[in-house]
Amino acid sequence: MNTSGGPLAGKKILVTRPKNQADSLVKLIEENGGTPLSFPIISIKAVKNEQAAARLNQLNTFQWIVFTSKNAVDYFFRLINELGISLGDYKFAAVGEKTAETLRRHGITSILVPERYDAADLAETLKKHVLKDERILFPKGNLAPSFLKEELKSTAVVEEMVVYKTEPEDGLDWSLIDITDCFFFMSPSAVSFMIKGLSDSQNNMIYKTPVICVGPTTKTAAEKYGFKHVFMPSNFTAEDMVNCAISYFQGGR
């Protein structure tokens, strides 16, 4: 671990991402001299239920399959593989390049991706490409909002399908909160789970700690819960979150 130099030298950064998804972010922090503190507050588990199975058995009634997270991609493909369902000729859309990369790993090569990696821009992009009354399947997590369904309801039929659930992780070292210089949040769920898990004494001081959020939905959640110094990179990627933290600590904010 290189903590002797670099723009994040001496800074302890709390990484709230699940451990099995945090390697690249941890490495980036270390490469810039920071000290990542692992705090995987989110636990993600597969969901398999009769409703999802019934919907997948009618997959051929959909023209589009749309994803807003890599987790949704992975758990969707796990589910169809378990059910022995083959994919036909569908149109795919992804909220950002990381989600699109995950789709490519599953063999999908033609993917609609908005220029700006957020749900609002994805909805506007889809409105330009989806034909009237086409059917869209939207695999998602149990806590993901119904923003796309609402935004597209006058354009197409959007059916949501929960393929994974997000829960707070047990057994975390909450004392890390007290020594952290900056929080990294990758989802609104991570923000809400942290606030609910804090002690009263921690609640009094946590809101002054700077927060770097991966996108606008997470930033809105952090501000809603009362954080005073909330930042978001121009590009919604882990790499740019680290650059955003560097800019903050170098006085660029």
pLDDT at residue 3 greater than cutoff 60: no
List the structure tokens of 94: 């992804």
More confident residue, 118 or 115: 115
Residue 61 neighbours by CB under 8 Å, 6+ apart: 135
- Which of 125, 126, 140, 149 lies closest to 75, judged by CA? 140
Strand partners, 94: 67
pLDDT, tens digit, 9 for 90 and up, residues 127-185: 999 998 899 999 999 988 888 899 998 889 999 999 999 999 989 999 999 999 999 99
From 54-58, 71-75, 134-138, 223-227, the region with the lowest mean pLDDT: 54-58
Residue 231 neighbours by CB under 8 Å, 6+ apart: 210, 211, 212, 213, 219, 244, 248, 253
Percent pLDDT > 70 in the chain is: 97
pLDDT at residue 1 greater than cutoff 60: no
Mean pLDDT of 69-98: 91
pLDDT of residue 27: 94
Beta strands in the chain (DSSP E): 12-15, 35-38, 42-46, 64-67, 91-94, 111-112, 135-141, 157-168, 182-185, 211-213, 230-231
pLDDT band at 252 (very low <50, low <70, confident <90, very high): low
pLDDT of residue 137: 95
Mean pLDDT of 56-64: 92
In eight-state DSSP terms, residue 47 is -
pLDDT at residue 4 greater than cutoff 80: no
Q: pTM for the whole thing?
A: 0.76
The answer to whether residues 169 and 197 touch, using CB atoms and an 8 Å cutoff, is: no
